[in-house]
Amino acid sequence: MNLIDQLNGILADLQGVWAESALMLGAIAVLVLGLARSGRAIKALFLIVLIFACYLNLTNGLRGDILSGSLFLSVHTSTFGILFLITASFLLLFKRGDKHSTEFYFFILSMLTGSLLMMKANSLLIIYLSIELVSFSSYILTNFSFKKKGFEASIKYLLFGAICSAIMLFGLGIIYGSTSTFLVSEWNSETFSALLPQVGFILLLVGIFFKISIAPAHLWVPATYQEAPADATAFMSIVPKLAALVLLKRIFEGQIFTSNHWIYSLVLGLGILTIVAGTLGAFRQSNARRMISFGAIAHSGFLLPLTLIQSTTASESLWYYSVVYAIMNMVTFYLLDVHERNGIVEIDDYKQTSRSVWIGAIFSLILVSLVGLPPLAGFTAKLFLFTTLWEGYSLLENSQMLWYLIVAVIATVGSLFFYLRIPRAIFLSQSTDNQSINLNLSTKILATLFCIVLLLLFFAPQLVMEAQQLLNNVHE
Amino acid sequence: MDGVGTKWWPYKHKGSVNEVLIISLLFLPLAGGVFGMLFKNTSYSIGGIGLSFAASLLVIINSIEFNTAIQWLPDYSLGIKLDSTAAILICLVTLISLLVHTFSLEYMREDDGKHRYFAKLGLFTFSMIGLLLADHLILLFVFWELVGLTSYLLIGFWYKKDGIPASARLSFMVNRIADVALLAGILMINNSGSLNISELSGTWLFLPSILVAIGAFGKSAQLPFSGWLTKAMVGPTPVSALIHAATMVAAGVYLLFRVAPFMHESTLIIVALTGTFTALYGGLCALFQHDIKKVLAYSTISQLGYMVMGIGVGAGSASIFHLFTHAFFKAGLFLGAGAIIHYLHQVTKADAQDMRNMGGLKKALPWTYSTFLVCALALTGIPFFSGFMSKEGIIIAGWEWAEQIGAWAYIVPDVGLITAFLTALYVGRMVLLVFYSENRLEEKIVAFSENLSLKVPLIVLALGSFWFVFDWNPFAHESRLSGYWSSTPSHSSDSISLIVMILSTLLAISGLVLAYSFFKPGSNYEQSFSKLEVGKFKLAFNGFYLVALYQSIGRGFSRFSQFTFAVDQMVVDGFIHFVGVGSVVISKVIALIDRFMVDGPVNLCGHISAFVGKRVAGLSSRDIQTQLAWLLAGVILILSWILFF
Amino acid sequence: MIITVQIFLLMMVLAGVGIILFTRNIVHAAYALCLTLLGIAGVYVLVMSELLAVVQIMLYAGGVVILLAFGVMMTNRLRGEKVLSGSNNKWIGRIISVGVFAGLCYLISISPFQTTSVEKNEDQIAQIGVSFLTDHIVAFELIAFVLLVALVGAAYLAKNAADE
């Protein structure tokens, strides 16, 4: 193939990366605008960039390998891309002073770029670089409170991330060395038959698991989620995690392992470990944010097996759970932020809020949804997940799936006991020094709207599936 | 069900009109409650439930059947079905709910939160009707949870009083544990076909069917879940009548009735045995209580045990019949107790639920007394009352079942008969101690004008406890209503039914006689009753420490999580100490770097090298090096597993 | 001849690594790192990839090590004391490193590596340049953006640290 052909091919494929390009340019534009303006103008530009990227993402009709196999586009990448962009736009709802807003939105946009590329990545180079891009932005966002503790969390996160990234890079090196290809799509069932590439694959998993926060690479989560600004945490707990899951799903979709391969056992075992670690860890936390972050770890564990099962149900289940998880986490951190601004940080502090009944009730409903009880969308997500696990059990004939199901069910009950500590503090305490906290109307309306959405998605889950179809077919 | 009533309703076969009817039947109680709370007017609630009752009567009289499905997730079409069983039970629920609403008008008159109370009652009625309408197990589970939630809300209604939130939480949590089993069971069944009850087929495996049964045990307060029902008695008494006697607790029996044909054989045996022993357990405990509501709660547990036993022995029809009669007389007893408590609240400051503070109330509350007596006789199982007919049905079926299963299985009807004796004993004790002899209070008894809104529900429920409501023949062990829930009339051999009837009547009467000789006015027991301490019957008084068991399980769990937390800490921190690192040298280096950080004009590089070099200036959280060490150790563990195994 | 060079490079690398491991003085460690990196650059030359060798010398030996040295110098410029590094978790650290080492040795010993003869490729740099702008264009652009983000982040953190 001569150079001209190659260049023409690249030009033809560029459509597939327009959204990311727009985000990169938008990030730089935010930085430049930040020199002159701050506050509203930045937010407006951020929103415009997101909408434009959304448009570009929707109108892109390319599927499959593009740009000499660097990226792989599919239904998932296009629909999850939209989910990520919408999630990012919700960050504008958080209260944020002008001081650091330019840089904040710059790093959010770069994290978004990294996440979009991560789930589209087909080349080992892109996998590594996009994970690094996401990580770099996360390290810096963690320190955005510019307090000693935030700095501490940020440095810990950096060190943890650096080690994981080094391990992954070593693994990528081993894989490339023994398969002499960068491209995930060229892997087949023979690729990992030898021991050396298998070890490389494990090391690659370490890097991906770091992003999804699967044990034992979950240790950074509590400190980071606790100290980072609430909006950054909300974003970090949703977008990179889901992107890494989509990437993992795509890797396993290549049928590189048979379903009784020990890699499956390993991944399932670590997933169970994650659920256990997240659930047990949450029990004795006194800080609300820290408790929720352990809950988020457990949710990673719930989502993990969906990447192993290749079926329509599994894909739908992943999509549905992701959408619901994104909504739940976004609104949880939003409410945590609102309370923290009123000095309510520890779970016990919520006893003071028993006068704000409305917001307390909404908060309780959201937490009930995080537990996974009806009549909220969290229940449907869990139900869907359990159905998929059962299907996986009968499909793959992997008895570990059954164990996974059992652990997941038990953990769901267990999670009731810690998530409901907040409602308990709000409603069942006999605190005397009640002070009503200062909440404006828009907060209440927003939280209520989110809650209604969760209820709606419970009663009409097919909306989410139809949305996926719709988003995927807009370009036609 | 053609042939029941006249068909003056012209729209019987018009789907859309029926749809409107069903929707209003379902939502009117809720709407009434909500409007009542918004406009601070209880008449909305009464109107809502009244109309709903009227609608359910309409459904019954015209034998309307209704069937639809809502498309939910792909492959999940949530069926809603109104068949004759659901219709008659809905009629029961709305009737009892209407009576309880009426009763509450007087009972809650002075309470500040009464509008909140009526809203919750409305929500409960809505959920209960929804539960009965649901044909799909998932939909049923949703309403099941909603019912549980409203029960929790109503138990904790007086949440400002000491101990009430804790009791509400305990009963909520015990229920949740059973509900998880139910959900797990449903999910397992999910994979073998449709979840619509009317489309179920085949026989389930043992595990899913026992899980579903455990879910039902939780709601119906069977062993080992019975403890929550006594804890639930801290709620307002009309609530106990509606939720914890007549309707919600019967939901477990209803579910078992619906799914019993698909249950695994061994599960049914377990169900029968659980019901039997729960019946005995409830009867024993009821005998030693001081609190009138606790006596009734244990009695409810015992009667629910009968129903579950009936399901287990294959007499679903008899169980539902007992559910029906029980709903009337137990609601009547609870409302009667409510009237007594309401009255005592007005005359004394002493504990108004403690029977040691009662006695001689016959004169003060004549209407309450007579209705209470009728309901109590129905509970005892004396002929010419409804309880006799339905209880007979269950025990006879148990007997026949035992004939087929084998000798050991006679324990089921035998314990049933023993419990019938116990029932008579504790009922006699309760009635004698509450209404007869002299008042044990210091305050003087004054006549009390029983308000109309107290009286009417009591009278209606007492009337519903007579035999003729269910069948003209007082010795029939099924009802003219039986056709609603069972298509095949049960036929049992006459000899067995005769023996059982005579035996149980004798037992009930001897129980009453024994009770009279023990507890009659002026007896030793009665004389010393007001000063009676728990004494040697501690075990039964405390319900065999079931609640304490839950609490210790809870504590054990919390210890376990403490333990894992400690392990978390110990493995990480302790390990370092254990190997003796962290000596003087390190502390000096820390001090050095701290000085750098505090004193020097520290730039980024300084920060990073300081942190990389040493520990983080954090306080309690574990240090990053150790975290990383654990990560790496994990990875190496995995790799060595691959390499060497 | 080649053998001599190989032994020389091996000694260079090992000496550097040894010093890094056992010195507590960070400046010494930085110089030793420089030695190691130069030795590895020499290995690259031996396997005929000049570009890597040049990059190694320019970026790592030239850039990274100098940056480290600067960092150390700026940290202790006021006191003039030596910057010493301590060590933590010695035992678990030793166990892990021995574990990694043993595992890798075992893995390499049992894995059949393909060997090919090294060939001199004249326009190696041109080929790499072309492939960066064709096959790996996304990675190339992404690296640029990653560096931008890192730069902005570092500058921003430094600025705010100086402010407060």
Quote the Cα angle for B492-B495-B497, to 5°: 55
pLDDT attached to residue B247: 85
Q: How many angstroms separate the first and last alpha carbons of chain A? A: 31
The answer to whether B154 touches B238, Cβ cutoff 8 Å, is: no
Residues C97 and C138 in one domain: no
Chain B residues with beta carbon closer than 8 angstroms to that of C86: 585-586, 589-590, 613-614
> Domain boundary residue among C85, C101, C120?
C120
**How many Cα atoms within 13 Å fall on the side-chain side of residue C97?**
6
pLDDT attached to residue B615: 35
Domain ranges for chain B, please list them.
265-534, 568-644
> Cβ of C90 and B579 within 8 Å?
yes
Residues C110 and C138 in one domain: no
Q: Does residue A409 sit in helix, strand or coil?
A: helix
B322-381 pLDDT, tens per residue?
998 999 999 999 999 988 888 888 777 777 787 777 777 777 788 888 899 999 999 988
Q: For tokens 């986490």, what's the residue?
A: A329
C150 lies in which domain range? 122-164
- Distance to chain B for C29, nearest Cα, Å: 13
Backbone angles phi, psi at B196, to 5 degrees: -75, 130
CATH number of the domain encompassing residue C32: 1.20.120.1200
CB pairs under 8 A between B and C: 83
Q: Looking at residues B149-173, what average pLDDT do you find?
A: 81
- Check: pTM over 0.80? Answer yes or no: no
Quote the Cα angle for A248-A254-A258, to 5°: 100
Q: For tokens 């769901």, what's the residue?
A: A412
CA distance B30 to B42: 13
CA-to-CA dists, residue B145 to A353, A375, B171, B300, angstroms: 26, 9, 13, 21
> Cβ of B623 and C86 within 8 Å?
no
Where chain C has pLDDT below 50, the residues are none
- Distance to chain B for A219, nearest Cα, Å: 7
Residues C103 and C35 in one domain: yes
pLDDT attached to residue C94: 83
Token reading at A364: 């309780």
> Cβ of B176 and A316 within 8 Å?
no
Does the pLDDT at position B160 exceed 90? no
> Cβ of B639 and A148 within 8 Å?
no
pLDDT attached to residue B537: 63
B584 — pLDDT class (breaks 50, 70, 90): very low
Residues C26 and C81 in one domain: yes
ipTM for the complex shown: 0.89
> Cβ of B169 and A428 within 8 Å?
yes
B559 touches chain A (CB under 8 A): no
> Cβ of B600 and C103 within 8 Å?
no
- The total of structural domains in chain C comes to 2
> Cβ of C161 and B603 within 8 Å?
yes
- Distance to chain A for B268, nearest Cα, Å: 24
> Cβ of C157 and B579 within 8 Å?
no
- Distance to chain C for A186, nearest Cα, Å: 15
DSSP state letter for B441: S
> Domain boundary residue among C120, C136, C154?
C120
B592 — pLDDT class (breaks 50, 70, 90): very low
Backbone angles phi, psi at A454, to 5 degrees: -65, -40
CA-to-CA dists, residue A403 to A288, A399, A416, C89, angstroms: 30, 7, 20, 36
The answer to whether B110 touches B158, Cβ cutoff 8 Å, is: no
Residues C150 and C101 in one domain: no
CB pairs under 8 A between A and B: 114
Q: For an interface test with B, give the residue of C84, C92, C100 to mutate (most B CBs within 10 A).
A: C92
Nearest CB to B562: which of A202, A284, A461?
Answer: A284
Angle between helices A195-212 and A124-142 (to 10 degrees): 30
Mean pLDDT by 10 residues, chain A (476 residues): 84 88 93 85 92 90 84 89 93 81 90 93 93 93 84 86 92 88 86 85 92 86 88 93 93 82 87 88 83 92 90 89 93 90 83 76 88 84 86 78 85 82 75 64 87 88 84 78
pLDDT attached to residue A313: 85
**Displacement of CA B385 from its chain's centroid (Å):** 25
DSSP state letter for B623: P
Token reading at B517: 């000789």
Q: For an interface test with A, give the residue of C149, C156, C157, C163 to mutate (most A CBs within 10 A).
A: C149
> Cβ of C103 and B643 within 8 Å?
yes
Q: What are the residues whose beta carbons fall under 8 Å from the beta carbon of A207, sequence distance 6 or more?
A: A127, A128, A131, A164, A165, A167, A168, A169, A171
pLDDT attached to residue A65: 87
Q: How deeply is B456 buried, as exposed, middle or buried, from its count of CB atoms within 10 A (0-12, 13-18, 19+)?
A: middle
- Distance to chain B for C146, nearest Cα, Å: 19
Does the pLDDT at position B520 exceed 90? no
A244-292 pLDDT, tens per residue?
999 999 999 888 887 778 888 889 999 998 998 888 888 778 889 988 9
The answer to whether B511 touches B380, Cβ cutoff 8 Å, is: yes
> Cβ of B596 and C75 within 8 Å?
yes
pLDDT attached to residue B15: 65
Which range has the top average pLDDT, B571-580, B604-613, C38-47?
C38-47
DSSP state letter for C40: H
Does the pLDDT at position B572 exceed 60? no
The answer to whether B281 touches B422, Cβ cutoff 8 Å, is: no
Q: What are the residues whose beta carbons fall under 8 Å from the beta carbon of B86, sequence distance 6 or more?
A: B132, B133
Chain C residues with beta carbon closer than 8 angstroms to that of B615: 88
Nearest CB to B187: which of A151, A220, A390?
Answer: A390
Q: Looking at residues B65-91, what average pLDDT do you find?
A: 81
Which of A423-427, B302-306, B405-409 bottoms out in mean pLDDT, i.e. has the lowest? A423-427
Does the pLDDT at position B611 exceed 50? no
Residues C102 and C156 in one domain: no
CA-to-CA dists, residue B480 to B91, B321, B322, B468, angstroms: 15, 10, 13, 10
The answer to whether B286 touches B426, Cβ cutoff 8 Å, is: yes
Mean pLDDT across chain B: 78
The answer to whether A122 touches A185, Cβ cutoff 8 Å, is: yes
Dihedral angle sign, alpha carbons of residues B470, B473, B478, B480: negative
pLDDT attached to residue B576: 38
B419-437 pLDDT, tens per residue?
999 999 899 888 888 888 7
A42-70 pLDDT, tens per residue?
899 999 999 999 999 888 878 888 888 88
pLDDT attached to residue A178: 85
> Cβ of A133 and C145 within 8 Å?
yes
CB pairs under 8 A between A and C: 73
Q: Considering only residues B627 and C50, tell me which one the structure prediction assigns the higher pLDDT.
A: C50
- Distance to chain C for A70, nearest Cα, Å: 7
pLDDT attached to residue C25: 78
Chain A residues with beta carbon closer than 8 angstroms to that of B617: 148, 152
